């Protein structure tokens, strides 16, 4: 399920057509039907303006959803993408790799989704972070802290991702 964000302001901005409460109700129906739930969060979707609200709102919504898997993907802008022009005009300020790591840390720190697998293991992501909650939470937070401890960490540097 593509939650993308648990912040209703962000969900409205990107025209998701649903609120955080809508996603929670859908998750409850899936769990009641015995269907495993994998939920996606799009790191950076709040931009610099709403990174904190995005992380905290997403954590709160995921805690209510109780997914089996929490999968992080990092927002990537390519020409033709609906928000691409907003980035080019400066209306949307994209997060840096360091800011994405900080946002991911804040999200993870506030997760209370016992038994969920947390996976930041996609090519779009800056850091490979994965484990089960709550037992691996401290280890995952330490890995993020280690990356953030180095001011010029190349893993958090600018990326070049192009379309084919």
- Bridge partners (DSSP) listed for residue 2: 40
Give dist(CA 109, CA 146) in Å, integer.
15
Question: Which tens digits make up the pLDDT trace of 111-140?
Answer: 999 999 999 988 889 999 999 999 999 999
Going from N- to C-terminal start, the domains of the chain cover 2-101+109-134
Helix, strand or coil for residue 149? coil
64: left (phi over 0), alpha (psi -120 to 50) or beta: alpha
Phi then psi for residue 83, to 5 deg, are -95, 0
> Does position 161 have pLDDT exceeding 70, yes or no?
no
> Does position 164 have pLDDT exceeding 60, yes or no?
no
Name which residue leads in pLDDT, 35 or 164. 35
CATH of domain 2-101+109-134: 3.30.750
Give dist(CA 129, CA 120) in Å, integer.
5
Mean pLDDT, the chain, integer = 94
| Helix, strand counts (H, E) of the chain | 6, 5
Output the pTM of the full model: 0.94
């Amino acid at each position: 399920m593509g939650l993308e964000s648990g912040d209703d302001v962000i969900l409205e901005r990107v025209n998701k057509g649903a609120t955080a409460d809508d996603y929670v109700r859908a998750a409850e129906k899936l769990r009641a039907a015995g269907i495993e739930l994998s939920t996606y969060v799009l790191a950076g979707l709040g931009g610099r303006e709403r990174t904190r609200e995005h992380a905290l709102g997403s954590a709160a919504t995921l805690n209510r959803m109780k997914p089996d898997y929490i999968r992080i993907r990092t927002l990537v802008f390519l020409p033709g993408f609906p928000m691409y022009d907003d980035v080019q005009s400066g209306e949307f300020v994209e997060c840096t790799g360091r800011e994405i790591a900080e946002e991911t840390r804040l999200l993870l720190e506030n997760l209370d989704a016992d038994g969920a697998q947390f996976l930041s293991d996609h090519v779009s992501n800056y850091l490979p972070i994965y484990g089960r909650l709550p037992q691996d939470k401290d280890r995952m937070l330490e890995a993020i802290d280690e990356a953030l401890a180095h001011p010029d960490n190349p893993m958090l540097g600018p990326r070049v991702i192009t379309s084919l």
